[in-house]
Amino acid sequence: MPFKSLICAITLAFTAMTAAVCDIEHAAPFWGASSSRTDHFYSTNYAQINNSRADGYEVQGRLGFIYRDPVVDSTIFFRLYNPTNYDHFYTVNSTRADEVIENQGYIDRGYVGYVYTTDICGSVPLYQLYKASATDHYYTANKTEADNAVSNDGYVLQGTAAYILPNL
Ligand SMILES: *[C@@H]1O[C@H](CO)[C@@H](O)[C@H](O)[C@H]1NC(C)=O
Ligand SMILES: *[C@@H]1O[C@H](CO)[C@@H](O)[C@H](O)[C@H]1NC(C)=O
Ligand SMILES: *[C@@H]1O[C@H](CO)[C@@H](O)[C@H](O)[C@H]1NC(C)=O
């Protein structure tokens, strides 16, 4: 085996081993806020969440943990915003991100952090809910809250947006 391939194989094996445990050390709290203009807004920056209160947002607390910087097996979690409908939308799918920018009036707001796309290392689903009448994406890792939003608030459960580290 050529030396480079050997190094590559070792690196891959090491990556697979280390991925078994979530990188808790580098995780950052993932905060949420909501506004009566029917927008849900998320950030790892508590000051940003706290400042949103000046714009009528209410701090909703911590959903779990994500990463500010890439870690093994993580994926960028894009952040998009529709200023006409006041909707923050988060996705790991870059094609989908491009699509809503081109066709649905969303603006590229960079990324909110890094997440997983599978339930590796003890990560949990971050559910994505959507209310078309309010153009509102709502995210929660709490299944009871997701079910309540569907039963009582007219949201549709669209699936799992990402996998995040659970609230401890
Ligand atoms: C949140 O913002 C308020 C002002 O609106 C400030 O008094 C308070 O100290 C802030 N809290 C934190 C934890 O930053
Ligand atoms: C990503 O988004 C595109 C465009 O909406 C869609 O066709 C594709 O199925 C999505 N990929 C995944 C993995 O969901
Ligand atoms: C999930 O949401 C329900 C309803 O709001 C709440 O009673 C419960 O404490 C939450 N569970 C966790 C683990 O936060």
Report pLDDT digits (tens) over 61-109.
999 999 999 999 999 999 999 999 999 999 999 999 999 999 999 999 9
**Farthest CA pair distance, the chain:** 62
Residue pair 126/160 in contact (Cβ under 8 Å)? The answer is yes
The conformational region for residue 94 under phi > 0 = left, psi -120 to 50 = alpha, else beta, is alpha
pLDDT at 8 over 80: no
pTM metric for this prediction: 0.88
Share of the chain above pLDDT 90, in %: 85
pLDDT of amino acid 4: 52
- Answer yes or no: is pLDDT of 19 > 80: no
| Residue in 50, 55, 57 to alter for ligand 1 test, most ligand atoms within 8 A of Cβ | 50
Residue 96, ligand 2, Cβ within 6 A: yes
pLDDT of residue 15 exceeding 70, the answer is no
Among 95, 48, 39, 38, residue whose Cα is nearest residue 68: 48
**Protein residue with its CA nearest to atom 6 in ligand 1:** 50
Ligand 1 atom index nearest CA of 46: 14
pLDDT tens digits for range 41-54: 999 999 999 999 99
**Could you count the other beta carbons within 10 Å of the beta carbon of residue 145?**
16
- Say what the pLDDT of residue 10 is: 46
> What local confidence, expressed as pLDDT, does residue 11 receive?
47
Phi, psi (degrees; rounded to nearest 5) at 15: -60, -45
Question: What are 114-152's pLDDT values in tens digits?
Answer: 999 999 999 999 999 999 999 999 999 999 999 999 999
pLDDT band at 36; cut points 50, 70, 90? confident
63, 127, 129, 145: which to mutate for ligand 3, most atoms within 8 A of CB? 145
pLDDT for the residue 37: 84
Ligand 3 and 142: CB distance under 6 A: yes
- Nearest residue by C-alpha to atom 2 in ligand 1: 50
What distance in angstroms lies between residue 141's CA and the mean position of ligand 3's atoms? Answer: 10
3 has a pLDDT exceeding 90: no
3-state helix, strand, coil in the chain (%, to 5): 35, 40, 25
- Give the pLDDT of residue 1: 47
Ligand nearest to the CA of 117: 2
Task: Using the structure block, give the residue that is written with the tokens 């309540």.
Answer: 148
